[in-house]
Amino acid sequence: MPHKKAKRTVREKLRSERGEDLAPGKESLRDEDIPKSALRVLNAQAVRDEYKLKKRKAEDRGDEDRGAKRQKALIGPGGPTQTKKAENKAAEKKASLKIQPGESMQHFNRRVEDDLRPLVKTAVQTSLAVSRNAAKAEREARLEKKAKGKVLPVEEEVKKPWVESPPPQEDKFVGRRKEFQSSSSSAPRRLNDIAQAPPELKKLSRRVTTSIGKRDGVLSMSQRVMMEAEREKAIIRYRQLKANRRQTGDIGDKLEND
């Protein structure tokens, strides 16, 4: 890269080609390594002359621009230059509406539509504005005519009669007890306060015994009576069966003993 220092071999080769103990040339001062601040001091006059020349050229160009603007302002918007520009623009637009060589009919129609679209839009907006203004003028004229033909009556303020408010109704439930019990405590009520304390279950003494006896699985007295009757019937049947077996013979007794 240009800002990099050349290699030593390249520098030695260039030095050998130039030779040694040569007389200084014209470009020796430019190639010499001089600090930028010192170079700025040495070239101060040349830099100043160049700056003055640029400033003078800029002033001359500004005078020409101001003169052209003044001339354009004196001519006005309807002057010959403006008219000529408008004519040139109209001629260019007229020439652009012709089909060009090598252009298809589809592209030509599209180009014509693109050129005429803003004109059509402007014409539609103008016609709508004119129709709105005409309708507004007709409406205002009609209202003025009606206002002239009629005499508006003066509206009188109708005073409404003052109605007395009904007397407050008496509360029928003043002396009755309310649904919830009210406490006469002076402490303020807070959220999640306990209304009534839960019941306290104290330990029973040893003397207290339960008087509930065993019911033998019977739920009521009628069921108990039925169970006793069925028990008596079963006992009677068993005794009859045993007596019949004894009467039949010893086989029954053996089986019974076994």
Distance of CA 189 to the CA centre of its chain: 44
Comparing 158-167, 196-205, 225-234, 241-250, the range with the smallest average pLDDT is: 158-167
Tokens of residue 43, six digits = 């070239």
What number is the average pLDDT over the span 147-160? 61
* Burial grade of 91 (CB within 10 A; 0-12, 13-18, 19 or more): exposed
Q: What phi and psi, each to the nearest 5 degrees, are found at residue 43?
A: -100, 20
Tokens of residue 169, six digits = 């109704």
The answer to the question of residue 132 being in a domain is yes
For residue 169, pLDDT beyond 70: yes
Task: Using DSSP, state whether 26 is helix, strand or coil.
Answer: coil
Residues 95-138: tens digit of each pLDDT: 667 777 778 888 888 888 888 888 889 999 999 999 999 999 99
* Burial grade of 218 (CB within 10 A; 0-12, 13-18, 19 or more): middle
The answer to the question of residue 242 being in a domain is no
207 band by pLDDT with thresholds 50, 70 and 90: confident
Q: At what angle do helices 105-149 and 80-96 cross, to 10 degrees?
A: 120
The answer to the question of residue 116 being in a domain is yes
The answer to the question of residue 125 being in a domain is yes
Instruction: Give the model's pLDDT for residue 191.
Output: 67
The answer to the question of residue 121 being in a domain is yes
The answer to the question of residue 236 being in a domain is no
Do residues 244 and 251 make contact, with C-beta atoms less than 8 angstroms apart? no
Q: What radius of gyration do the chain's Cα atoms show?
A: 65
Residues 40-96: tens digit of each pLDDT: 888 899 989 999 999 988 888 877 666 666 666 555 555 555 566 667 766 666 666
The residue count of the chain comes to 258
- Which residues fall within 8 angstroms of residue 200, CB to CB, at 6 or more apart? none
Task: Using DSSP, state whether 249 is helix, strand or coil.
Answer: coil
Comparing 54-68, 159-173, 201-215, the range with the smallest average pLDDT is: 201-215
Q: What phi and psi, each to the nearest 5 degrees, are found at residue 209?
A: -125, 155
- Give the total number of structural domains in the chain: 1
The answer to the question of residue 134 being in a domain is yes
The answer to the question of residue 178 being in a domain is no
Give the domain range for residue 118: 107-139
Q: Which residue has the tokens 């065993």?
A: 214
- Give the H/E segment covering residue 78: none
